[in-house]
Amino acid sequence: MDISYIFVISLMLALCSSQAESKQKSGRGRGSMWWGIAKVGEPNNMSPITTGIMYMDPAIHSTLRRKQRRLVRDNPGVLGALVKGANLAISECQHQFRNRRWNCSTRNFLRGKNLFGKIVDRGCRETGFIYAITSAAVTHSIARACSEGTIESCTCDYSHQSRSPQANHQAGSVAGVRDWEWGGCSDNIGFGFKFSREFVDTGERGRNLREKMNLHNNEAGRAHVQAEMRQECKCHGMSGSCTVKTCWMRLANFRVIGDNLKARFDGATRVQVSNSLRQSANAVAVVSPNAAMGSNSNGGSNGLLQSAVSVYEEEERMLNDHMPDLLLDNTHLSSKIHHPNMPSPNSLPMAGARSRNGRRQGRKHNRYHFQLNPHNPEHKPPGSKDIVYLEPSPSFCEKNLRHGILGTHGRQCNETSLGVDGCGLMCCGRGYRRDEVIVVERCACTFHWCCEVKCKLCRTKKVIYTCL
Amino acid sequence: MSGTILENLSGRKLSILVGSLLLCQVLCFLLGGLYAPVPAGHTNVLGSLCRENHARQNDTSFFLYSRGEGSCTQVTREEVEQDSMKLANQIVHVFQMPLPRDSRVLDYSRWQQNLIGVLQVEFGYDSSSELREPPKELQLTIDMRLAYRNKGDPDHAWKLYAHGVEHRYLDCVAAHIGSSETLYTCDMIPLFELGALHHSFYLLNLRFPLDTPKQMNLQFGHMHDLTLTAIHQNGGFTHVWLMLKTLLFPFVVGIMVWFWRRVHLLQRSPALLEYMLLYLGGALTFLNLPLEYLSLTIEMPYMLLLSDIRQGIFYAMLLSFWLVFAGEHMLIQDSHNKSTIRSRYWKHLSAVVVGCISLFVFDISERGVQLRNPFYSIWTTPLGAKVAMSFILLAGVSAAVYFLFLCYMISKVFKNIGDKRTSLPSMSQARRLHYEGLIYRFKFLMLATLLCAALTVTGFIMGQMAEGQWKWNDDVEIQLTSAFLTGVYGMWNIYIFALLILYAPSHKQWPTMHHSDETTQSNENIVASAASEEIEFSNLPSDSNPSEISSLTSFTRKVAFE
């Protein structure tokens, strides 16, 4: 009796979950609607975009989730950086994919729909890349905006474990100024990472495989920004000697990060649902039984067991894994030393953020802690910087609006190339057209300081090949 | 009169003194390690792009700024990318310091003392342009204008601090090679050094004039990000540093007065070593003098240079003292005259003098010139860098020569002591014990010196290796760089403090003092206890030498005579 009862229950649960899955199908990229922010302020082409106008834009309400709106409201100036970041991601994606059949087009964007189209509904490589590059771009762009001074709420979170005693007793604002006077402020890059996690990962709870894929790719994007940071030092002791040395982190150009992500795209790992865990009712089912193999060596504990791991440990491990101290260290890189005083990624200036207790924080971090299983068991499990995907990509040859594919009709191709940008592959064997155009360019320019530039106009003939 | 306090101090008193001094040393170290923040902080400022106002281009009282009322019209990177000329000659790079944090406008405090700016340049070459690779010596011409504003001034009230058109040579590597563009990342270039951080806000306007007739900046494709890193001394560190100086200053002055009074109580004129000790104390007092307090009210751009000079004088004095100290215990009695720097040590000290002068010349040509032009740096031109390098090399070589010579002299002293040791067993029990004690104390002081030097060196290396904090446990974290700086500073203060105490003439009279016919002989006192061997000592020529400072010196001299 008991056995049949359990059977019925599990059947019902399985049914429920499959129903839920099918319901969610349309909104698979739940956390990705914010990409539409790239088009904020575009129709009237206001430049420079003033924040006042941007807040009025209804696009904000249609694209941002509640928590995201709160973040934007509580951090003045962040919206401009987010718009810049989203556009940076789009242009970088289009640059990296200019020679491929799928060219990261956002042409058929409609309000209320996903920016990159329906392709995002599928868990293919391209989707993984979009997630990674947008998350990286937000990190990069927020950190940049902090150093440009356009976001005023960037934290000065240099942890003074031994600040002057008066500063401890003084009210918030005075203490902040005293902090700056006493020990300076940290690099801005840490804020970019924290903000990106808070903002980009909203809505990705890591409850199903697709959400885990998104989370992994978001983290991978940030990991690439971090990996490309370089430390710079300047000696300024007695007579310029190195008795006193100050070091800081320098962000790489986003093009370099795009290059690296494209390389990861080419070597992306296909992950799958692990069989052993599929029966589990809530279908989290991404956790490999041998999770310790990955870079996050969490000693065999898997996603399902994580609630058993103490919150503090989990949080600490999280911070070690994903936010090395070097981001938050003030002047000196010390990647091997863990900082106990490092602020948690939740410490963004956000109403109510501080009132949250540790328990909540711990649970939030848990969502990053999983290990995905490669589709092909002979492959390595994906590392923290790898892009993962769930299903093979469509061919992208023909227009298919149901799947959000534009096709390669009318795309330019390279006649001599044998690669993907060659006319043979790009046009999927449909053939191509040859056109001669005359391009007028400015050339042979002479400069005079100040402030004249004189150029000639040069006409050059160019041959363009276009797919039929 | 007897010898120095060191010799006459009982073992217990000596250990108490040493113990309390060591405690002070630990306190100094912990003060820097636990209380003080890192010595310097920094702000990374990404250049904002402002559109040039051509009408007021040459007006040095006009500034473009990116934040606050009346800020410039900013140009986005996309606009620059889209323009076929990349908006050449139409953009001003604007850096406004400090950046706002935690939703507050921050300002520089005078406690932050100084400001050093370095610039990191990224630029790219279009595939369409004929330039694809930067030439070897890539010269960048920058029109730099530094302005300041004080708290309470209106947002537009920027006043010119310095203006200059400077050249910098860049050293770049390709960061990205693509079909449409090649990106280069360059090593940082020094931009400015301000010895006084007197104002609240600073603003830097950079222009990169492109000019075909003058061949200016033509080898650049177009600028990408420019990042300015402004390094300032941390206010907290200045607090701690000044506190340390104010605390140490009266102690050292007091002990110097005490020392000099003791020397003057003697019937003889002060010996060379006593003069040296006094000079050393003087140099330390000059270093300790908390002049930085003045910089809180008066603008003192020469502060960086002055602190270099103060440190330089102190270290020169310390090095000279060691040489003279070793020389005075050398036991070579070539003349009966009182030894002076000029008569005996000018050759020994030439290495110190050469080293110090070359460093001084280097400092004057770097920080001295910066007083006139804060954008100047000797390192920016290849020739200047060579000149600067040769001065530093000269200083390094003279330091090496000095240390080799010092080691040679010390080994000679130890050899002489060792020689005497072999003859110790033939002496009477009392004398032998006394001599052994003397040698022990001399060695003790040598050891202290070596320990101080070794601590300085290891502290320096540790500060470089660990870079920053060192964690004791979860709650306690030690700022190694600050701890190193305060620790070393306190250490040399304590060292000299101890020297002044221990090498002051002792007023303790030995019980058999009256027994001797020659009154001023210190060695008499030592050997007095060994009365049976008195004759052996009493008629030595060295005894008539009035310059002897310690019984050890006379003891070793006698050894040489024997």
Q: What is the DSSP string of B221-267?
A: -EEEEEEEEEEEE-HHHHHHHHHHHHHHHHHHHHHHHHHHHHHHHSS
Which of residues B235 and A273 earns the better pLDDT score? B235
Give me the residues paired with residue B227 across strands: B46, B120
Residue A267 lies in a domain: yes
Of A115, A440, A86, A79, the residue nearest B78 (C-alpha): A86
Q: Which residues are CB-neighbours of B553 under 8 A, at least 6 positions away?
A: B328, B329, B331
Q: Has residue A157 got a pLDDT over 50?
A: yes
Provide the number of structural domains found in chain A.
2
Between CA B534 and CA B523 the distance in angstroms is 10
Q: Has residue A285 got a pLDDT over 50?
A: no
Show residues of chain A in contact with B74, CB under 8 Å.
Answer: 48
Residue A102 lies in a domain: yes
Q: Same structural domain for residues A102 and A48?
A: yes
Residue A5 lies in a domain: no
- ipTM of this complex prediction, to 2 decimal places: 0.82
Q: Has residue B146 got a pLDDT over 80?
A: yes
Residue A144 lies in a domain: yes
Q: Has residue A43 got a pLDDT over 90?
A: no
| Residues A271/A6, Cβ–Cβ less than 8 Å | no
What is the CA angle B443-B448-B451, rounded to 5?
Answer: 120
Mean pLDDT of chain A: 70
Residue A166 lies in a domain: no
Mean pLDDT of B226-244: 93
DSSP 3-state assignment of A58? helix
pLDDT band at A345 (very low <50, low <70, confident <90, very high): very low
| Residues B226/B206, Cβ–Cβ less than 8 Å | yes
pLDDT for position A312: 38
**Which of the listed residues A331, A358, A389 is the one where a domain comes to its end?**
A389
Q: Same structural domain for residues A46 and A179?
A: yes
**The pair of three-digit structure tokens given for residue B133, joined into one six-digit string:** 């690779």
Mean pLDDT of B275-299: 92
pLDDT for position A279: 36
pTM of structure: 0.80
Interface touch A234/B54, C-beta < 8 Å: no
Q: Same structural domain for residues A342 and A423?
A: no
pLDDT band at A173 (very low <50, low <70, confident <90, very high): low
Least confident of A119-128, A334-343, A355-364, A376-385: A334-343
Task: Give DSSP secondary structure letters for A165-209.
Answer: HHHHHS-HHHHHHHHHHHH----SHHHHHHHHHHHHTTT----SH
CATH of the domain at A457: 3.30.2460.20
pLDDT for position A224: 93
| Residues A144/B93, Cβ–Cβ less than 8 Å | no
| CB-nearest partner of A337 from B112, B231, B469 | B469
Q: Has residue B547 got a pLDDT over 90?
A: no
Which of residues B77 and B370 earns the better pLDDT score? B370
Between CA B427 and CA B420 the distance in angstroms is 11
Tell me the C-alpha to C-alpha distance, in Å, between residue A447 and each of A451, A452, B88, B229: 8, 6, 8, 30
Residue A397 lies in a domain: no
Parallel, antiparallel or unpaired: strands A269-272 and A388-389: parallel
pLDDT tens-digit readout, B116-136: 999 999 988 887 666 667 777
Write out residues 488-547 of B within 8 Å (CB-CB) of A: none
Q: Same structural domain for residues A236 and A271?
A: yes
| Residues A80/A52, Cβ–Cβ less than 8 Å | no
Mean pLDDT of chain B: 81
pLDDT band at A108 (very low <50, low <70, confident <90, very high): low
Q: For tokens 């299903």, what's the residue?
A: A391
Show residues of chain B in contact with A256, CB under 8 Å.
Answer: 175-176, 183
Mean pLDDT of A88-93: 91
Q: Same structural domain for residues A195 and A305?
A: yes
What is the CA angle B121-A140-A187, rounded to 5?
Answer: 70
Nearest CA in chain A to B472: A337
Write out residues 145-204 of B within 8 Å (CB-CB) of A: 175-176, 178, 180-181, 183, 185, 188
Q: Which sign does the torsion angle of CA B331, B332, B334, B340 carry?
A: negative
| CB-nearest partner of A248 from B44, B78, B214 | B44
Q: Same structural domain for residues A349 and A457?
A: no
Which of residues B507 and B524 earns the better pLDDT score? B507
Residue B505 per-residue DSSP state: B
Q: Same structural domain for residues A126 and A63?
A: yes
What is the CA angle B317-B319-B322, rounded to 5?
Answer: 110
pLDDT tens-digit readout, B84-114: 777 888 889 999 988 888 888 889 999 998 9
DSSP 3-state assignment of A134? helix
pLDDT band at A287 (very low <50, low <70, confident <90, very high): very low
Q: Has residue A11 got a pLDDT over 90?
A: no
Write out residues 166-205 of A within 8 Å (CB-CB) of B: 173, 176-177, 180-185, 187-188
Nearest CA in chain A to B41: A184
Q: How many CB pairs under 8 A join A and B?
A: 238
Interface touch A252/B475, C-beta < 8 Å: no
Interface touch B485/A255, C-beta < 8 Å: no
Nearest CA in chain A to B118: A234
pLDDT band at A343 (very low <50, low <70, confident <90, very high): very low
**The pair of three-digit structure tokens given for residue B155, joined into one six-digit string:** 């947002």
Write out residues 262-291 of A within 8 Å (CB-CB) of B: none
Q: Same structural domain for residues A243 and A346?
A: yes
Task: Give DSSP secondary structure letters for B12-58.
Answer: HHHHHHHHHHHHHHHHHHHIIIIIS--SEEEEEEEPEEEE--GGGTT
Interface touch B308/A451, C-beta < 8 Å: no
Nearest CA in chain A to B106: A177
pLDDT for position A38: 76
Å from B384 to nearest chain A CA?
15
pLDDT tens-digit readout, A358-412: 344 444 556 777 778 888 888 888 888 899 998 888 888 888 777 777 788 888 8
Q: Has residue B525 got a pLDDT over 50?
A: no
Between CA B469 and CA B483 the distance in angstroms is 10
Parallel, antiparallel or unpaired: strands A245-250 and A269-272: unpaired
Q: Same structural domain for residues A371 and A422?
A: no
Q: Same structural domain for residues A431 and A373?
A: no
Residue A406 lies in a domain: no
Give me the domain span that covers residue A445. Answer: 412-467
Q: Has residue B516 got a pLDDT over 80?
A: no
pLDDT band at B82 (very low <50, low <70, confident <90, very high): confident
pLDDT for position B213: 86
Q: Has residue A300 got a pLDDT over 50?
A: no
Q: Has residue A298 got a pLDDT over 60?
A: no
**Which of the listed residues A389, A421, A451 is the one where a domain comes to its end?**
A389
Q: Same structural domain for residues A273 and A315?
A: yes
B238 touches chain A (CB under 8 A): no
**The pair of three-digit structure tokens given for residue A177, joined into one six-digit string:** 């100024």
pLDDT tens-digit readout, B390-416: 998 999 999 999 989 988 888 888 888
Show residues of chain B in contact with A353, CB under 8 Å.
Answer: none
Q: Same structural domain for residues A197 and A333?
A: yes
Task: Give DSSP secondary structure letters for B317-358.
Answer: HHHHHHHHHHHHTS-----SSPP-IIIIITTTTHHHHHHHHH
Residue A20 lies in a domain: no
Determine the length of chain B: 562
What is the CA angle B533-B537-B542, rounded to 5?
Answer: 170
Q: Has residue A103 got a pLDDT over 90?
A: no
